[in-house]
Amino acid sequence: MMNTVFLDAGTLSPIQLRSDQSEQLSPKHFDIDISRLAHCCESLILFNQTDSKQRLDRCRNAQHIITNKVVINAELMDQLPQLELICVAATGYNNIDILAAKERNISVCNVAGYSTQSVVQICFQLLLQLNNHYGAVQTMLIEKGWQNHPEFVMLPKGFSQLEGKTMTIIGHGTIGKAVSKVAQAFGLKIVLAQLPERDLKDGYTPLEQALSISDFVSLHCPLTDETSKLVNQAFIDKLKPGALLINTARGGLLDEDAVAEALHNGTLAGLGCDVLSTEPPSHDNPLLSAPNVVITPHIGWASIEARQTLVNELAKNIDGFIHSKPRNIIV
């Protein structure tokens, strides 16, 4: 029998369902339809979460492993001679030792493009909450109460319209392009920033110049050696005063200490982020206590529709592999 294990299937179900202490999940734990995934596997076990000490035991008899964030390294692969396929339930695959998989003739596939509209939605939620000072509005409602206010309008802080403002987008791939489209619908002027040390492409603006004219900066580039801590003190120093920063890409793009300091001293007007450098974050992460910050806990990818597409694509990846028609193959 061909056995498949999903090591952290709990990442695809709402957090209120993950409070169940059962090690294994069933379809009732999900708000999406996982039947397509179940049907393509002869035997499918859905584990809620898997820590490093549990990996070997749970994978011992599996020909196919599905993982979102559980690390699959060379040491583990060496103990799984039957392993044929690793399916990443995400786009990024930095939790897989790709070279080791290639050397051992283990195929690795991922799922790309499933969450574009979901991420775009969260991106603009963060932008609008910051720009419209939603936190101040909520605080005033709770502390003072509109019903006790002498006027029909209760405005704790003035906010500006998006129309006519400038948004710089760093990373103009699938998500960056989708963000540009929505931004233009709001009447924003779009600037595409060219990363440093790269040849300037048509339609792009050097990063330093782009930052100096930006009301909003939205990050959509991958995390690489080149972009690690891209948003550092030098980056912040080049920003137009009053600029807001949005990060729905990767937490490691930010030098979090520098960004927190800039928020405290006002050189950065606000930060909206769906990602942090370490997740879950440590209690002393400086962004958690910085002012003018809106944080969502890495939910940008996780709309119902995006998670359903992800599951369907995982099923197609496994079915394609079984029938010698592999798809979305990394190695």
Catalytic residues: 250, 279, 298
Which residue, among 14, 29, 25, 6, has the nearest Cα to 297 in the 3D structure? 14
Phi-psi region of 203 (alpha: psi -120 to 50; beta: other; left: phi over 0): left
How far is CA 175 from each of CA 122, 136, 220, 302, 308, rounded to the nearest angstrom?
12, 30, 7, 14, 18
Answer yes or no: are the C-beta atoms of 187 and 216 closer than 8 Å.
no
Classify burial at 238, counting beta carbons within 10 Å of its beta carbon; exposed 0-12, middle 13-18, buried 19 or more: middle
Half-sphere exposure in the Cβ direction for 281 (13 Å, CA) = 19
Answer yes or no: are the C-beta atoms of 2 and 43 closer than 8 Å.
yes
Q: How many CB atoms lie within 10 A of CB 284?
A: 7
Cis peptide before 280 (omega within 30 of 0): yes
The answer for residues whose C-beta is within 8 angstroms of residue 91's C-beta and 6 or more apart is 110, 111, 112, 113, 114, 115
Q: Please give the radius of gyration of the chain, using alpha carbons only, rounded to the nearest integer.
A: 22
Q: Which helix (H) or strand (E) holds 231?
A: none
What is d(CA 61, CA 3) in angstroms, rounded to the nearest whole number? 7
Which residue, among 159, 165, 167, has the nearest Cα to 132 in the 3D structure? 159
What is d(CA 227, CA 273) in angstroms, rounded to the nearest whole number? 17
The answer for residues whose C-beta is within 8 angstroms of residue 20's C-beta and 6 or more apart is 29, 48
How far is CA 67 from each of CA 8, 89, 203, rounded to the nearest angstrom?
6, 6, 38
